[in-house]
């Protein structure tokens, strides 16, 4: 696991995002330091996915700023940010259904031209995700939801991210597959990848997080160490049904 540092890779400052006349994100601030796993939790509609889309350049913001590696991303596109290592696995996975598992992984390396390195990383993904190796020639669209989630994560890792954003990776999966996906998230984190994890499953997300932020109605209402938030009575009442 990479040693923690105080280097801030991602900083969100007073971010406001609106859809039409509705302000979905209302001036939030948070940061992600190198080597951290940071969880952003909140109920459906809290603004978590909107925030992730703004960070990755797929949604413009009306006010505030987002800095990645010390520079504003305002006006920069997703493709440009992926090249610099800011990569998201979107909610719903978005695999290429008519392409094989191997072809999907190779698509994750579209910004790279190091053939030997790409081939080595495909093998690395098959080591991290043994289930993908078994099905390497299978069409992605014929896989289960959990297998597609693994593939989407593997494809993102092929781009050699500095910061990996995971948007609701456990959504719609069986309890057994949820266990597997969180195990994989821990494994990827142990490789030294900095992770921002957006999850409705607050207990699982906070249990593995260095730090967490609680988002409600477009605002961040609480922040703290993962275990600290996990034991907070307000969090437990609101998100863990206690």
pLDDT tens digit sequence for 52-96 = 999 999 899 999 999 999 999 999 988 899 999 999 998 877 899
Strand 37-41 and strand 211-216: pairing? parallel
- The alpha carbon dihedral of 183, 188, 191, 192 has a sign of negative
Residue-by-residue pLDDT tens, the chain, 242 positions? 445 678 999 999 999 999 878 899 999 999 999 999 999 999 888 999 999 999 999 899 999 999 999 999 999 988 899 999 999 998 877 899 999 999 999 999 998 999 999 999 999 999 999 999 999 999 999 999 999 999 999 999 999 999 999 999 999 899 999 999 999 999 999 999 999 999 988 999 999 999 999 999 999 999 999 999 999 999 999 887 75
pTM of the model: 0.93
Residues 156 and 134 sit within 8 Å (Cβ to Cβ):
no
Q: How far is CA 41 from CA 45, 172, 211, in A?
A: 11, 17, 11
Residue-wise burial string across 59-80, b where 16 or more C-beta atoms lie within 10 A, e elsewhere? bebeebebbbeeeebeebebee
CATH pick for 35-53+77-239 out of 3.40.50.740, 3.40.30.10, 3.40.50.300, 3.30.420.240: 3.40.50.300
DSSP state of 6: S
Give residues with Cβ within 8 angstroms of 123, minimum separation 6: none
């Amino acid at each position: 696991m990479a040693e923690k540092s105080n280097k801030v890779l991602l900083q969100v400052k007073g971010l406001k995002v609106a859809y039409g006349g509705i302000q979905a994100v209302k001036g939030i601030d948070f940061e992600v330091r190198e080597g951290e796993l940071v969880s952003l939790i909140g109920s459906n509609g809290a603004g978590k996915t909107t925030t992730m889309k703004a960070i990755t350049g797929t949604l413009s913001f009306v006010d505030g700023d987002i800095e990645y590696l010390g520079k504003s991303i305002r006006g920069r596109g997703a493709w440009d940010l992926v090249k610099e290592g800011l990569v998201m696995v979107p909610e719903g996975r978005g695999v290429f259904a008519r392409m094989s598992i191997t072809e999907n992984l190779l698509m994750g390396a579209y910004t790279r031209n190091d053939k030997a390195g790409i081939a080595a990383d495909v093998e690395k993904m098959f080591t991290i995700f043994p289930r993908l190796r078994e099905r390497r020639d299978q069409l992605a669209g014929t896989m289960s939801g959990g297998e597609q989630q693994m593939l989407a994560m593997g494809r993102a890792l092929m781009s050699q991210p500095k910061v990996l954003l995971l948007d609701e990776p456990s959504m719609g999966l069986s309890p057994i597959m949820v266990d597997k996906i969180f195990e994989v998230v821990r494994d990827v984190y142990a490789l030294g990848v900095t992770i921002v994890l957006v999850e409705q499953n607050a207990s699982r997300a906070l249990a593995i997080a260095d730090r967490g932020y609680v988002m409600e109605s477009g605002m961040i209402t609480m922040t703290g160490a993962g275990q600290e938030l996990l034991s907070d009575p307000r969090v437990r009442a609101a998100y863990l049904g206690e």
